Amino acid sequence: MNNKYENYSSVLYDFTKPPGTSIDGDLEFYKNLLMPIEGKVLEAGVGNGRLLIPFLKYKIDIEGIDKSKSMLEICNKNLAINDLECTLIDQDLEHFIKPEYYEFIIMPNASFCLLENRQIALKVLHNFFISLKSKGSIAIDLILPIEFKKGSSHSMEHHLPNLNLNVKNYNQEIDWFYQYTINKIEYYDRQTLLETQLVKLSWYGVEEFKSMLEKIGFKEVYVIKNYNNNKLINLKTITFIAKKD
């Protein structure tokens, strides 16, 4: 399964979460994390520039990478609207390495959970490790399927400038042994089906993911709940921060 944003899913994401939108406090969390960094930063899964663009305005020296061409097109458009320039890399993370180049690599908003399997996940972590300078760090957000109920569905209509988009989301499958969920998302204009997207999200136990990081060679692994946002009662996001010696 090739998890990535296609045309209508990208347009909808940009409409509902334009640059500068904070989800549960992630923008503020990562801003505070990155502001002291003097070297190069990489945002993996940059999307439409929701975080990248405000970070550039904060003078953070950041680049972005994504395998979704439609998202990168939107990100470039958003950069132009904001009169900003930035290096955007069109590549999947499994094959991306820039040896000892970055001071910090972030992968916010559970984009890591979209990696198709654990073999690819380990490869990506290894690539991050190689791409970091000595003493460089990573920060990765993960989520758990706390609210997933197999067989349930919901729909929502969005009134975009030139399109009324009705989105139907079906919770298709949950595999407790291999730890993933699959959603089928359909995008309609009135009764016309425009796009169907299958989304596989993998989840990881806290100790499991710490072990994966340590196996690669990362040290000083810290785990943070909900971006330290005490207003969130339920567990939504787990952030792992780790350092390369």
Chain segment 109-135, per-residue pLDDT in tens:
999 999 999 999 999 999 999 999 999
Same domain, 171 and 52: no
pLDDT at 4 over 80: no
Is 211 among the domain residues? yes
Confidence label for 40 from pLDDT (cuts 50, 70 and 90): very high
Tell me if 34 is assigned to some domain. yes
Q: How confident is the model at residue 230 (pLDDT cuts 50, 70, 90)?
A: confident
Both 135 and 110 in one domain: the answer is yes
19 and 41 both lie in a single domain: yes
Give the pLDDT of residue 6.
Answer: 75
Mean pLDDT across the chain: 95
Percent of the chain past pLDDT 90, that is, above it, reads 89
Residue 1 has pLDDT above 80, yes or no: no
Mean local confidence (pLDDT), 132-139:
98
Amino acid at 134: S
The average pLDDT across 5-13 equals 87
pLDDT (0 to 100) of residue 181: 97
Listed range (89-98, 172-181, 223-232) with the worst mean pLDDT? 223-232
CB neighbours of residue 131 within 10 Å: 22
Q: What is the pLDDT of residue 232?
A: 80
Can you give the pLDDT at residue 58? 97
Residue 47 has pLDDT above 90, yes or no: yes
The yes-or-no verdict on residue 2 having pLDDT over 90 is: no
Mean pLDDT of 16-24: 96
Q: Over the chain, what HEC string results?
A: CCCCCCHHHHHHHHHHCCCCCCCCCHHHHHHHHHCCCCCCEEEECCCCCCCHHHHHHCCCCEEEEECCHHHHHHHHHHHHHCCCCCCEEECCHHHCCCCCCEEEEEECCCHHHHCCCHHHHHHHHHHHHHHEEEEEEEEEEECCCCCCCCCCEEEEEEEECCEEEEEEEEEEEEECCCCEEEEEEEEEECCEEEEEEEEEEECCCHHHHHHHHHHHCCEEEEEEEHHHCCCCCCCCCEEEEEECC
Mean pLDDT of 37-57: 98
Q: Are residues 117 and 76 in the same domain?
A: yes
Question: What is the share, in percent, of the chain residues with pLDDT greater than 70?
Answer: 98
Tell whether 62 and 179 lie within a shared domain.
no
Q: Is residue 210 part of a domain?
A: yes
Q: Are residue 172 and residue 214 in the same domain, yes or no?
A: no
Same domain? 117 vs 223? yes
Q: How confident is the model at residue 163 (pLDDT cuts 50, 70, 90)?
A: confident
pLDDT tens digit sequence for 63-95: 999 999 999 999 999 999 999 999 999 999 999
85 in a structural domain: yes
138 within domain boundaries: yes
Does some domain include residue 1?
A: no
pLDDT at 3 > cutoff 70: no
CA nearest neighbour of 50 among 10, 15, 5, 17: 17
156 domain-assigned? yes
Number of domains in the chain: 2
**Do both 194 and 209 map to the same domain?**
no
> What pLDDT is recorded for position 229?
86
* pLDDT for 223 beyond 80: yes
**Boundaries of domain holding 169:** 152-201
Q: What is the CATH number of the domain that holds 214?
A: 3.40.50.150
Domain for residue 163, yes or no? yes
167 and 75 fall within a common domain: no
Query: Same domain, yes or no, for 54 and 123?
Result: yes
- Provide long-range contacts, Cβ within 8 A and 24+ apart, for 72-75: 72/46, 73/10, 74/10, 74/11, 74/14, 74/48, 74/49, 75/46, 75/47, 75/48, 75/49
Which residues contact residue 203 at a Cβ distance below 8 angstroms, ignoring those fewer than 6 apart?
A: 113, 142, 143, 144, 145, 179, 180, 181
Pair (75, 42) in one structural domain: yes
Q: Is the pLDDT of residue 233 over 90?
A: no
The answer to whether residues 77 and 186 belong to one domain is no
